[in-house]
Structure 1
C-alpha cells in the first residue's frame, strides 16, 4: 500500500508542491474503486456477449419455427386438396350409383308394368269366357251350333288378347334389352374388330358434363363440337360403332349427311350378311340423323383411301339392293361398280336401305347376301365378275358407305354395325386364306 501511495504522489502536478499528501487508506479506497470498475466492465462485457448469444439462438429458433410452420401449411394444403379430390370422386361415385339405381328402378317398373298388363289380359280373357258362357246359357245352351260358336268366340278372343299382349311385351323388351340376330358378329370390338379410318367426324366432349354424360340433346351438342382433324380417328369410334348400344346419343357422329367408315374385322370371313341397328325412333332425339342409303364394300388387306372427289353422297346411285335382301332393302337397280365409288380393288357386297321408322322390334335390320359378292374388275372398263364360278373370296376389312341419311344435313349418327359370315383361316385378324 505504501508503494501505491508513492506512485499516486508522483502523479501530482509539479505546481502543486504544497498539496496535502494522500494517506494510504485513501489510496487503498481509490484502488478498490478502480478495481471494482474494472470488474464491473468485465462483467458488463461478459453479459453483453451472453445477450448476443441468446439473441442469435432466438433468431435461429424463430427461423426453424417459421420453416416448420411453412411445411405444416404446405402439408395442410396437400391434405385439403386430397380431401377435395376424394370428395369429387365420392360425388361422382354417388352420381353413378344414383344413375344405376334409377336404371334398375326403371327396369323394375317396366317389368312390373308388363306383369300388370299380362294380369289384365288374363282377366280380360276370363271375363270374355264368362260372358260367352253366360250368353250361351241365356239362349238355351243346348244346341251344338251355339256351343261351337261360343267355343270359337272364346278361342278368337284368347288369340287376339295374346297377340296384343305379345306385341306389347316385344316393344317393351326391345327398349330394355339389346336386339340380337342369332349370328356371330365378326366386327365386334371386344372380339378384335376395330374402326381404322373414317370420313370427318365431330369431336367428342372432353370436359365438364360432356365427358361422362349420356350425350343428351345430341343435335345441339354436335353443332357445337368442332370436326376432328383430317385423318384422325375418333378415339371412341370402335366402342361406339362396334359395341352394343348403351344409350341414345352414344353414336359415331359423321359430319354432314353422308360419309364412310373402314373397319378391320376380328378375323377373315366369307361374308354372308350385314346387320345395322339404330336407336328406336320412339326414344331417338332426332331420327333424321339415322343413315338411310348404305353401300358395303369388302377388302383383302387395309382399304385404300377414297379417291378425291368420291364423297359417297350420290343418293341416286345407291338405291339398289345389289344382291341384298332384308327389311328395308330396295330391289330393281343395277349394281354400281366399286371403281365408280373410288374404291378400286374392292368387293362390292351390295347396297341396302335402312328404315329408321320401322317399329322398335325392327331396329336391328339384317340384310342377307342373296348371292356371292361381286369381285372388282382388274382393268378399267371391265364389269364386276361374280364369284359364282369360283370360290367366294374372303375379306378382312369392310367399308360402310353412307349415301344419305333421313334428312339431317348437319351430321349422321352411326350406332351399331354387325358383320356376319363364315370364318376362314386362323383365329384373330390376319391375311385371308
Structure 2
C-alpha cells in the first residue's frame, strides 16, 4: 500500500503557482502573435514585389514602343535626306552631260580636223613602214658582214666601222635619188625610152630617131624640181615605153611631177594611169598588168605605187606607162620622171640557194 505522505508530496509537486501559469500562457500567446505578425509582413512584401514586377514590365514595354517610334521617325528623315542628295546628284550629272554634249557639238569641226590630221599621220607612218629594210636586203647585209668579219674574233670597232659604212651608203643613195631604192629605169644606168605617143608640137622642136624624141630621156633623169624640166606628150592621154637596164622582178613604180611649192600650173600632171610589163626576148610578148593608180596632186609630188602580186617567176625588162587622163590641161601632159624598182633574178636565186 502506498504511503499517504508520499502521495501528498507528489500532488504538491504537480500544482504550479498561478502567476507562473499566467506568465506561461501570456508568453505562448505573445510568440504566436509575433509569428502571425511576421507571417503577415512576409505576405505583404510578396504582394508588393509582384505589383512592382507588373509595373516594371509595363514601363519596359512603353520604353520599347517609344524607341521603335524614334527609330521609325529617324529612318524616315534619313531616307528623305538620301533621296534629296540622290536627286541633287542626278541633276548635276544631267547638267554635265548636257554641257559635254554642247561642247562636243560646238567643237565638232575641230575634232574632225584633228581626226583628219591623225589619219594623215597614220598614212605617213604606213608609207614609212613600206620603206623599211626588206628580208632580202637584210640577208644581203648579213652575208656582207660575214664576208668581211670573222665572228670568232668580232670586235666592237669592227661593228661600228661596218655600220658607219652602211649609213654612209644609205645617205648617198637618198641624197642622189631621194627614195633609197634602185631605179632600173634610170638613163644613167642604161635604160632608154623605146617608144612614146605623140609629143606636144607647141613645146619646141624635137629631133626624132627611131620614133623617139631626143627630149624623152628627161623623164629618166633627175629633174631637181625645176618647172618645165619634163617630157611633154600631146593631149590628155598617151603612153611611154621604157627598156630597163636589165631584167628584174618588179616591186614598185614611182611617178614624179613638179612640186606644188614651185609649180606655175600642175594641170598637166597625169591622173589615171596603168603600167604593163613584159620580157622582150621571149618569142611572144605577154603583157602583164603591174599596177594601176591615180596620181593625186594633194599628196607628195613623188608618189610610189606597189606592183600587184605576180609571183617570183614574173620577170620583165620592158614597161609601158599608159595614162587616160590628166588634171585639166587640154593640150598636153607632162612626165617629169618615171622610175621602176625591183630585184634582179640572180640576186634572189643566190639568196634562195643559201
Q: What TM-score does the superposition give when structure 2 sets the normalisation length? A: 0.45
Identify the structure with the greater helix proportion.
Answer: 2
Q: Of the two, which has the highest radius of gyration?
A: 2
